[in-house]
Structure 1
Amino acid sequence: MMSLLDKLLDLANKNNSIRALVMNGSRVNPNITPDEYQDYDIVFYVNNYQGFIKDFSFIDTLGEVLVKQTSLDQRDGLETINESFTYMVQYKDGSRIDLTIRDIKYVLEDFKSDSLSMVLLDKEGLGLDNNPNESSYYVKKITKEDFTFTVNEFYWVCPYIAKGIKRRQLFYAMKHLDIIRHELENMIDWWIGDNHNFEVSVGKGKSRYKDLLSQGIYRQYVLTYPKLSRIEITKALKIAINLFDLLASELAKTYNFIYDNTIKENILLFFKTNYDL
């Protein structure tokens, strides 16, 4: 029985419009342990883009479709449709394809911009070297501007959470907790990057935090995901603040950035004085 990838290669070989087939993502990542749930991230580079995207009848020949989404189904899909068309399919047998259609003129540019790329079919004789690696996904080096923006956003949003807790508006508090957790993740990423010379990826959805962080820091991060209760959200908020302050202070010293070392205590005192937290 042919695999989904075999079917795609067979299709691409037989269709003269498809000039190259490139696979991206986890299936070409040498640092990822393969499993049965990985998507096939595939790009067809074609020589008649506008004509090709008018007929996707071949999708149904690859398997029994459970659910699908194309650029036409996405809120912002029309913004990029002149250069790129996406067709994503979940098949009932568990296999999934994230298929992108691009004009062949973009293949060199795309190959250079995404280090997790492997050419599986090349009818144009492009001679691209397959050496997939994670370099395009390394943590970006910290800058003074990004550090300052992150610190400001984190502490600016914190009082919203406290107010939501006091009012017993727990959904409101949780939604704002999500915002500061995002800023905390920025700080964690930079801290990890600094410890690995910014030659490291934290993984999709921060999947490598457990491996890259000390047990103590990782545990604190986990505790920023609380149950929906005033007590638990309050604990999560204070843990997030303490962890953020710890990492921000270290990075500020390392890179000679300005950081107010009194802000944590001032924020916590504000919570106690105004919201009894």
Structure 2
Amino acid sequence: MRTEKEVLSEFNKWAKAKDLIRTAILTSSRARPAGEIDFLSDYDIELYVTDLRIFKKDDSWLEPFGPIIVRWPYKPRSTGFKPGNWITRLILFKDGVRIDFQITDQQQIEPDAYDNGYKVLIDKDQVASQLAEPTYSEYIINKPGREEFENLVNEFWWNAYYVPKYLWREEITYAKYMLDNILRYSYLHKIIDWYIGMENDWSVETGALGKNFKDYLKPDTWADLEETYTGADIEANWKTFFKMTDLFRRLAKEVGNELGYEYPDEVDQEVMEFCKMIKTK
């Protein structure tokens, strides 16, 4: 696998030789001073070009970077990653290097466009000279308002009873979707974020999909979170469901108490009574 020095040297040589490439910005973990990088870390590069047609036509422009294993999307198109006229090419090369390209023909860059960190690789027209110094605050956990907190907690309990409903029916695919997708990523992770933010003076970030939770949670809380994962066994999923609701309740109450927000004890109690009744039927 090519080293970072080799990848960026190859890229810079290519970009300098292509007149239509005007500016290239490296973003994400490889552009952050404290970024955690390993051999699987992507290279996130945003290209500002004079003509987008060549990049929309096909991927022949990628040939200098080496043979490709797989790409996304399959054909060049906009993926909505950024507003405006951008296309996306995420590329995994055969030596294991992955480069994520976002490409646009716009020639203006807002001064705060890269507040979470950047490195200017190429800037032929000095359009990146106006970029502000990054504050690295884009993904810092924000303190929730009262309405946001109360909406999330009540919505968790609305969605919670779907898990027992489909476990009782032994429809494991639906139950797992509700448990591991809806309850976990829409609600539990948000409460964990707020709990971590509260414990750290609202000054930290936990990464995509909670990848840094373990760094911030106390060992016993991390162990409780680990117990919310299981396989396809029906009975094991019942246990996991109750573990998840216990963890959600505990952390949500701590956040609510700290912020002075109301926790819906009655809703919680009545939903759980209904869920336990379903299990005994």
Q: TM-score, normalised by structure 2?
A: 0.87
CA contact under 8 A between 2:56 and 2:76: conserved in structure 1? no
Residue 166 of structure 2 corresponds to residue 164 of structure 1:
yes
Residue 119 of structure 2 corresponds to residue 118 of structure 1:
yes
* Unmatched segments (≥5 aa) in structure 2: none
Residue 153 to residue 125, structure 1, CA distance change in 2 (3 Å)? same
Counterpart AA for 1:211: D
Superposed displacement of residue 171, structure 1: 1.6
Residue 34 of structure 2 corresponds to residue 34 of structure 1:
no
Counterpart AA for 2:162: Y
* Unmatched segments (≥5 aa) in structure 1: none
What does residue range 45-124 of structure 1 map to in structure 2 within 5 Å?
A: 45-50=48-53, 53-54=56-57, 56-70=59-73, 72=75, 77=79, 83-108=85-110, 111-124=112-125
Corresponding position of 1:206: 210
What does residue range 1-277 of structure 1 map to in structure 2 within 5 Å?
A: 3-50=6-53, 53-54=56-57, 56-70=59-73, 72=75, 77=79, 83-108=85-110, 111-126=112-127, 127-128=129-130, 134-178=136-180, 179-182=182-185, 183-276=187-280
In 2, distance between residues paired with 1:192 and 1:35?
Answer: 25
Counterpart AA for 1:31: A
Counterpart AA for 2:36: T
Superposed displacement of residue 263, structure 1: 3.3
* SS at structure 2 position matched to 1:197: coil
TM-superposition CA deviations, 1:178-202 (whole Å, max 9, x none): 2111201100001111122222110
Superposed displacement of residue 88, structure 1: 1.4
Superposed displacement of residue 86, structure 1: 0.8
Q: How many residues align?
A: 275
CA contact under 8 A between 2:193 and 2:206: conserved in structure 1? yes
Superposed displacement of residue 132, structure 1: 5.3
CA contact under 8 A between 2:26 and 2:44: conserved in structure 1? yes
CA contact under 8 A between 1:72 and 1:78: conserved in structure 2? no
Higher alpha-carbon deviation: 179-188 or 254-263 = 254-263
Superposed displacement of residue 42, structure 1: 0.4
Superposed displacement of residue 13, structure 1: 0.9
Superposed displacement of residue 57, structure 1: 1.9
Counterpart AA for 2:153: V
Higher alpha-carbon deviation: 237-246 or 253-262 = 253-262
TM-superposition CA deviations, 1:188-228 (whole Å, max 9, x none): 00111112222211022311111100111111111111121
CA contact under 8 A between 1:29 and 1:116: conserved in structure 2? yes
Superposed displacement of residue 164, structure 1: 1.1
Q: TM-score, normalised by structure 1?
A: 0.89
TM-superposition CA deviations, 1:7-35 (whole Å, max 9, x none): 21111111122111100111122223321
TM-superposition CA deviations, 1:31-57 (whole Å, max 9, x none): 233211111100111233345544642
TM-superposition CA deviations, 1:220-268 (whole Å, max 9, x none): 1111111211221111111111111111112222222222223333322
Higher alpha-carbon deviation: 117-126 or 35-44 = 117-126
